[in-house]
Structure 1
């Protein structure tokens, strides 16, 4: 577990910012709209509201949220990465403390606006963490574990997983809040999908006269291999090479830029990859 003052200071700063945004979002949009963000955060809020309604007891968000994250934290330490999990613990603790300490503030009572803009802020906060190789905890750990172990884009799986939480909330507190929470969670998922692309993949088809150099630069840039196919150009009837490779979405622009340096005359077609079977190198999480 290696530390770098520059990189780690940047990560800590971003984690603090993400914690502040998430806590403010909970105390403004989420509480005002009576919504359930999903994951450990949503379950924490559900437990708080159940406790207040049936036991007349006010529970600390920080304490309940940390207890719910104990198993995901174990999964993080055991299967994902120790440094990654330590930063995630910082995010979980800071978010909990700030949520308990910061006052509530009402921006609007329009539940639809709350669902959309609250979901955007929530997704942005989660994406900030993910881009710094950390997470906001809860189901994010599980999503990353599935992505690394199974090679799948698991964020929509998390959305389906949260349906159980919303069903319970709907039965107890009313279906209108549960339905608006679906909008909140869907918006969050789409924002994360847009901003965080590490576990998404793209296929590159590169027509070039320098196939070996192109393959070498793809590997040097992304650690991914490539396949060289031989063909013939239909216009000049000249033999050409087609280099085929699959890379992570967050690496695709760097790979294309590197390929253009090696062969400025190359023709590159980039396609979003839906499903992939077989060995695919995944950059490890520290």
Structure 2
């Protein structure tokens, strides 16, 4: 299901770009927007530009966000880049404003789906994920803020009507991403497993959160177990569930909503 979600989300983004945004010279957010600019003013294909611009950021994400997340992101970037290369640019609607709104909403839907499948579409998404994990900010707001440079560039290269339409598109994208991907809630996970040390190492390697380990005893079996407790953001839940299953598919996991977190929410620096 995760693979299907990654493909679906990536293809939705492709359709949004080539059928709604690019035909009206309306840009998307981040590196995708810069790729569009290169595709409009140079002979370089938008898909190829998208891949080349994302490559350095994928390396950064590999170092800071874990192997699995970046491998999923690389897969998404490849699907998007290939799709932009293959799918013809054709305007579905004639009205630029409607295309900006609907294209932005579709882009947000695709990005949100990819995020929920423990990946990203590359570009500023990776930077947003890194900052959100360290500073606990809503990702949609972060992406909208970083995309101001794309709006300014579009204004100078094309016209300010295009820049304002780009602003509308990016704003809608950010709102839809936050609605689909996360409501910025916190969750407490209590993981009961017989593979406590393996689980600890796996989670600490792939998750930017701390955790607490306690000893426990099975009430029926009287066997020794470990109880791992951690607090995560809602957008990390799918990733954490996959990480837990990789170590111990039979682990008992209790997930509860957390009203408030006091103290150090992120993993302490070594």
> What TM-score comes out, normalization by structure 2 length?
0.72
Aligned twin of 1:62? 47
Deviations 1:146-194 (A, max 9, x none): 1122333243122121111211110120000110111100000001111
Which residues in structure 2 correspond to 1:264-283 (within 5 Å)? 278-280=263-265
Give the match for residue 11 of structure 2.
20
CA-CA distance at 1:277 after TM superposition: 6.4
CA distance in 1, matches of 2:163, 2:152: 7
Distance in structure 2 (CA, Å) of the matches to 1:42 and 1:168:
10
2: CA distance between counterparts of 1:157 and 1:172? Answer: 24
Matching residue of 2:190: 220
List gaps (5 residues or longer) in structure 2. Answer: 193-209, 213-230, 238-253
Deviation at 1:136, TM superposition (A): 0.7
1:239-286 deviation digits (Å, cap 9, x = unpaired) = xxxxxxx863467x9526xxxxxxxxxxxxx86x6xx6631268xxxx
Structure 2 CA distance for aligned equivalents of residues 121 and 219 of structure 1: 32
Change (3 A) 1:59 1:38: same
Is the CA contact (8 Å cut-off) linking 2:134 and 2:266 kept in structure 1?
no
Over 3 Å off, 4+ runs: 221-225, 246-251
1:32 corresponds to:
23
> By how many angstroms is 1:71 displaced?
2.0
User: Retained in 1: the 8 A contact 2:114–2:121?
Assistant: yes
* Unaligned ranges ≥5, structure 1: 1-9, 52-57, 204-217, 226-245, 257-269
Contact 1:27 1:99 in 2 (8 A): yes
Larger radius of gyration: 1
TM-score by length of 1: 0.68
Number of residue pairs aligned between Structure 1 and Structure 2: 216
Cα separation, partners in 2 of 1:201 and 1:38, compared to 1, 3 Å = same
CA distance in 2, matches of 1:159, 1:134: 19
- 1:201 paired residue number: 185
In structure 1, C-alpha distance between the alignment counterparts of 2:265 and 2:32, rounded to whole Å: 32
Aligned partner of 2:176 in structure 1 is 191
Q: Contact 1:18–1:125 at 8 Å: present in 2 too?
A: yes
Pair 1:157-2:134 in alignment: no
For residues 83-127 of structure 1, what are the alpha-carbon distances to aligned partners after superposition, in whole Å with 9 as ceiling and x for unaligned?
111111111111111111112232211112111111111000001
